[in-house]
Structure 1
Amino acid sequence: MCLKLSINDILSKSILTPGRGLLNEYSYSLNPYAGCAFGCSYCYVRQLPVSLFREEEWGTWVDIKANAAELLRKELIKAKKKGPVTIFMSSATDPYQPIEAKTMLTRSLLEVMLEVQPDFLFVQTRSPLVKRDLDLFKQFGDKIRISMTIETDKEEIRKAFAPSAPPIPARMNALKEITEAGVLTQATISPLLPCSREFPKKLKHLASRVTLDDFWMGDGSGGKRTEKLGIYKIYEQLGMEKWYNPAAHKVVLKMLKDELDGEVQVLVSQKGFMPGID
């Protein structure tokens, strides 16, 4: 699926947003971009003001926060004077969406954070491009975790829900490479989509831990935002209505624990996104 993207440079007034809601354990969230080219059908950001008050369809526009690195340096110095600083990057965009290959904006923010180090940085993405910055991740030691969204192991399911997002095998390979380099990692099944019984086995050697989340736990509204997006129609088209159920994650959770318990830590929803190390 190829969408014509509207890409613009903007100047932000600030770059660190106080943690709230499901991210209330973090001091701040950090979004290098506004908008996201992946445009996943189930993305809860579609129901947030950043999307609702925009004329363009979500997934067709990206704003590049051109002054982000400059702002981050100033705001980090100020924040660190107040106490410990933990950062979630990113809550409303993907820091490694395609434009990042050209702008290297996220990389510039990582470089700033190596100069003025937060106490912990959680990087959330669904892009294999993340492995480009492995050299920087290593320099953070145990102050960083790289989390890769792998919401299913079935490419046909990924294509139905998120046709513009990177292929699942490429994500798995990138995550494995980062893990093998000694960086703290996480495979994030969020939101849980229909998957095969082999899914837990495929995740076994990919990351330090696995976190499972779904629409009802993870969209910040008990599933109401997701319901407004009308994605149940996709489940119907696939003949997989039984998966659109707040109890579905319990079946997959048992599968994960049976396969991974004792070797890979398995967490659920908010606990899997907390700052800090194992």
Structure 2
Amino acid sequence: MSEPKRPSVRWLNPASGFLNGYSHTVNPYVGCTFGCSYCYVRRMPIGLFHSEPWGEWVKAKPLDEDKFRREWRREASKGPLRLFMASVTDPYQPMEHEQRLTRRLLELMAEQPPHYLLLQTRSPLVMRDIDILRELGSAVRVSMTVETDLEPVRKLFAPHSPPLAARMRALRELTAAGVAVQAAVSPLLPASPDFAEKLGELAPRIVVDDFFRGDGSGGKRTSQLKIRQLYEQAGLQERYTAEYADQFVLALQEKLPRHEIRFSQEGFGPD
């Protein structure tokens, strides 16, 4: 008996909602093992109804390179490809060390470069792909999540995510290599008074988001995830406000007048 056919994978999925301005999203993996407490995907069907808790599982999508190329050419024929990678996972899962799936997708994209690609991650593993990112040139920007500069805060809210120092080093090395970057303070977590200056040394462009305007539901999803309780646990509940983010944006604008400072959806849009 012949083996059953695997379901066909669609790589370029139409973008909508918060990702207005993009033509497609690209998600190399299903699931995510970083397991950030505040992740909005926890309240989506894939997070709610999977057999394992969100943050404890991930699967690589099967890649048929010829099918990918055909899909790429078909979608490119309809108009400029403006891609967000990735919307419901991190493209640099720990599994990517061995799978090299994200890297292979980038190599395939470079054969016929997109109009724009925002590569959203919190993993320093992205540095491995500096060579292909440089080949993509002005078509790509790496958006590195740096929600705080305080390791105890990172460990409270996202204990399985990469250390902050490694992410900051990745931003410096990508910039030194000529790769366009932005620091994504998304969502803003409690930080030190020096956080704005530190960010200024890492990236020329900074985008800030919060739990109240960036979760797509006016803060309701975040409330369901009991994020306020984590703030209370740390004795930082006074920073669980939209005003805290507004004040931080003002501090960035005052201290970094030559930097590009953006907020929420505007900061994640295609150039």
* Segment drifting more, 209-218 vs 152-161: 209-218
1:184 aligned onto 2:174: no
Which of 211, 218, 223 lines up with 1:222 in the alignment?
218
Matched, 1:87 2:83: yes
2:270 aligned with 1:275: yes
Q: Aligned-pair distance for 1:179?
A: 0.7
Give TM-score scaled by structure 2 length: 0.95
Partner of 2:105: 109
Equivalent pair of 1:11/1:67 in contact (CA under 8 Å)? no
1:93-133 CA-to-partner distances (Å, cap 9, x unmatched) read 00011000110000000001001211100000000001000
Is the alpha carbon distance of 1:12 and 1:41 closer, same or farther for their aligned partners in structure 2, counting shifts above 3 Å? farther
Letter matched to residue 202 of structure 1: K
SS at match of 2:184: strand
Secondary structure (helix, strand or coil) at the match of 1:266 reads strand
Is 1:55 matched up with 2:48?
Answer: no
After the TM superposition, which of the residue ranges 93-102 and 245-254 deviates more from structure 2?
245-254
The SS at the match of 1:140 is helix
- Contact 1:27–1:86 (Cα < 8 Å) also in 2: yes
Deviation at 1:72, TM superposition (A): 3.1
1:197 paired to 2:196: no
SS at match of 1:217: coil
Does the aligned pair in 2 maintain the 1:73–1:116 contact within 8 Å?
A: no
Deviation at 1:71, TM superposition (A): 4.2
Partners of 1:142 and 1:151 in 2: CA distance: 25
Task: Please report how far the alpha carbon of residue 76 of structure 1 lies from its aligned counterpart in structure 2 after TM superposition.
Answer: 1.2
Q: 1:20 aligns with which of 13, 16, 20?
A: 16
Are 1:28 and 1:87, in contact at CA under 8 Å, matched by a contact in 2? yes
In the alignment, which of 136, 150, 170 is matched to residue 166 of structure 2? Answer: 170
CA deviation after TM superposition for structure 1 residue 74, in Å? 2.0
TM-score by length of 1: 0.93
Q: 1:158 to 1:71 in 2, by over 3 A?
A: farther
RMSD (CA atoms): 1.2
Deviation at 1:208, TM superposition (A): 2.7
- How has the CA–CA distance of structure 1 residues 70 and 160 changed in structure 2, closer, same or farther, with 3 Å as cutoff? farther
In the alignment, the residues of structure 2 paired with residue 34 and residue 125 of structure 1 have an alpha-carbon distance, to the nearest angstrom, of 15
CA contact (8 A) 2:183 2:199 kept: yes
Identical pairs, percent: 50
Q: Does 1:46 align with 2:36?
A: no
Q: 5+ unaligned residues in a row in structure 1: which ranges?
A: 1-9
CA contact (8 A) 1:14 1:71 kept: no
2:3 is matched with none
Equivalent residue number for residue 141 of structure 1: 137
Letter in 1 for 2:190: P
Spell out, residue by residue over 1:57-78, the C-alpha distance to the aligned partner (whole angstroms, 9 max, x if none).
0111101102264543222110
Shift of 1:11: 5.1
**Which amino acid in the other structure matches residue 125 of structure 2?**
L
What's the counterpart of residue 238 of structure 1?
Answer: 234
Give, as a single letter, the amino acid of the residue that structure 2 aligns with 1:56.
Answer: E
Residue 252 of structure 1 is matched in structure 2 by 248
Superposed displacement of residue 85, structure 1 = 0.9
8 Å Cα contact 1:76/1:118 also seen in 2: no
CA shift digits 1:17-46 (9 cap, x unpaired): 111111021000110001101000000000
8 Å CA contact 1:29–1:87 kept in 2: the answer is yes
CA contact (8 A) 1:12 1:67 kept: no
Shift in alpha-carbon separation, 1:68–1:235, aligned structure 2, 3 A:
farther
Q: How many residues align?
A: 266
1:96 aligns with 2:92: yes
Contact 2:9–2:62 (Cα < 8 Å) also in 1: no
Q: Within the alignment, does 1:155 sit opposite 2:151 as a pair?
A: yes
Q: CA deviation at 1:180?
A: 1.1
